[in-house]
Amino acid sequence: VQKIGENISIRRFSQLHVQSNSSAKLAQYVHGGRIGVLVDYEGADDAGRDLAMHISFSRPAYLVKSEVPADIVERERNILVARARESGKPAEIVAKMVDGGLHKFLGEITLLGQPFVKDDKQTVEKMLAARKTKVFGYRFLVLSEGIEKKKAA
């Protein structure tokens, strides 16, 4: 506050602890001064930075499929079932369409299931396996996100 002369207050913060492994690291990436990503991982330094860049671009909601809440999965399944039934196909084909659509949906909202931004022919999970890297967690923050703006009447 004294250095720049602005009144600054902290509205939110996030902590990320390095895993107890001695080889675990933190990687950071700041995009345009507005988006910040912190990644807890184990592996090569360039893989951590690439992963942080990918997260800033794609904004995944969850790390892995098992973290997705059951109500979100069920809601998407119901939508897919309704769409598939409208097609008039047999029940066994409808079931396969729903399973395929659900797999695609979960891949889009989870970090490990997304196509890697630098090479869209492979998923993030395959990229990490090729570089012998594991990711334990991440934090994604956007400057001024969540601030309610006053509306003029």
**Among 1, 40, 5, 2, residue whose Cα is nearest residue 24:** 40
- Residue ranges in 6-90 assigned as alpha helix (H): 45-58, 70-86
Please give the model's pTM, rounded to 2 decimal places.
0.78
Write the pLDDT tens digit of every residue in 73-116.
999 999 998 888 888 888 888 889 999 999 999 999 999 999 99
Write the pLDDT tens digit of every residue in 57-69.
999 999 999 999 9
